[in-house]
Structure 1
Amino acid sequence: MTTPLRADPFEFSYLEWEWKIEKVLESGDLTKKSGDDFVARIYVTFDYPVSELPFGQKLKYRAYKAFTSFDIPLRSLNYVWASKEDIGTITESPFTNWVQYIVVNSGNEEAEEWTSLKRNIVEDYREAFGEDPRQITGITIMTDSDNTEESTKAWFGAITLSKE
């Protein structure tokens, strides 16, 4: 589920949310395409002009656009509940460096419990991409298992952007 929005990350720098999982996806592995699934993730997408992509990435973007009708974010932070990776890990998606994963929960230790998190979007974006973020364009919640073909559940509570 995606909520499109426009927000200045320097004004609304904090993302807060609650979530709960049944269990992690045992085959989940954020470093491999075959394991690129998460029991819970929150995407924060950012404006980024195609014109500023390197030539090869512009071609990649045009190829993607040829096969889809929706906007493809060129910068996205994904806060994930990973299967086994260390909390605090930041790494790019095995599919594209336009998506950076930040592991904020991992494993089954807190499964079946509501967990509350608060992240500084500007700091996370700078660490993940090495530059300042542009305008926030959307927030998406997701549970996916298309690569691992496993099954689990996640619940999402309130998700808010705030100034502090």
Structure 2
Amino acid sequence: MPGISPCFALILCTLSATAGAASLIVENGLPSPLIGWPEKSFQGHTRYSDVEEAGSIVLRAEADGSASGKFLDHTIDLNKTPILSWRWKVATVADGNADERSKAGDDYPARLYLVVKRGLFGLSSKAINYVWSAHQPLGSHWPNAFTEQAIMLSVESGPAHAGQWVSYRRDVRADLARLLGEPIDQIDSIAIMTDSDNGGGLAQAWYGDIHFSAR
């Protein structure tokens, strides 16, 4: 489809289900490990591995000029569980001048996708990306550089909290309504990705538990 990046096309069209025993807790209480999610490669392979930190297992991601993500196809009923909580940590934040709103600057040390599937083969699907941005102000949002079907939302900006675990709690239903301009009752897929394929260099992040809950 013209204007859609290979990354986004794969996110929308080729997610597959998995199951396991820790790290993502979905709304029905069944856990699924991030390490067990299927991986989709867009440029090389971001290295994902389970590591122990402070007595808990987290997922470490290391991208070296690469871009691949972990994806889970799973329906979340936002009428029942609209609140998304997660935590992550990044080693560093790029200090260059690359514009993250451009294709050349579309790299993030940590990002979490939520996809609303629509249309035949998902080609009309929508997505929001919660991102750790290098330069865009906290709370700002902009269309993805490759397609306006995905909106990027900065939940962390700059290097001030690099090297620290940061926790988040978002009302996904409210975010989707505000950013997509319509009420959304469910999401169909979840993904995480650490990438540095456009600007090159090394990006490192750690992802902790991700779960949905009632208000």
TM-score by length of structure 1 reads 0.83
* Deviation for aligned residue 1:25: 2.5
Counterparts of 2:125 and 2:95 in 1: how far apart (Å)?
29
CA RMSD, 1 decimal: 1.6
Q: Relative contact order, CA 8 A, sep 6+: which one is greater? A: 1
AA matched with 1:46:
V
Counterparts of 1:98 and 1:159 in 2: how far apart (Å)?
24
> Could you tell me which of 109, 115, 119 is aligned with 1:39?
109
Residues 173 and 185 of structure 2 are in contact (CA less than 8 Å); yes or no, is this contact kept in structure 1?
no
Counterparts of 1:112 and 1:31 in 2: how far apart (Å)?
25
The aligned residue for residue 8 of structure 1 is 77
Counterparts of 2:163 and 2:92 in 1: how far apart (Å)?
8
Residues 25 and 148 of structure 1 are in contact (CA less than 8 Å); yes or no, is this contact kept in structure 2?
no
Describe the superposition over 1:133-162 as per-residue Cα deviations: whole angstroms up to 9, x where unpaired.
242111111101111112120000000011
User: SS at 2:93's partner residue?
Assistant: coil
> Could you tell me which of 111, 133, 136 is aligned with 2:187?
136
Counterparts of 1:40 and 1:73 in 2: how far apart (Å)?
25
Describe the superposition over 1:74-112 as per-residue Cα deviations: whole angstroms up to 9, x where unpaired.
111100000011010011101111110110001110000
* Deviation for aligned residue 1:8: 1.4
The equivalences for 1:141-156 within 5 A come to 141-156=192-207
Indicate the structure with greater helix content.
1
The equivalences for 1:20-35 within 5 A come to 20-27=89-96, 28-35=98-105
Counterparts of 2:162 and 2:79 in 1: how far apart (Å)?
33
> Could you tell me which of 86, 111, 114 is aligned with 1:17?
86
> Could you tell me which of 92, 105, 116 is aligned with 2:143?
92
Structure 1: which 5+ residue stretches go unaligned?
A: 51-64, 66-70
TM-score by length of structure 2 reads 0.64
Query: Sequence identity of aligned pairs in percent?
Result: 32
Of the structure 1 ranges 14-23 and 123-132, higher mean CA displacement relative to structure 2 is found in: 123-132
AA matched with 1:38:
Y
Aligned residues: 145
Q: Which runs of 4+ in 1 moved over 4 A?
A: none
Structure 2: which 5+ residue stretches go unaligned?
A: 1-69
Pair 1:160 & 2:211 matched: yes
The aligned residue for residue 120 of structure 1 is 171
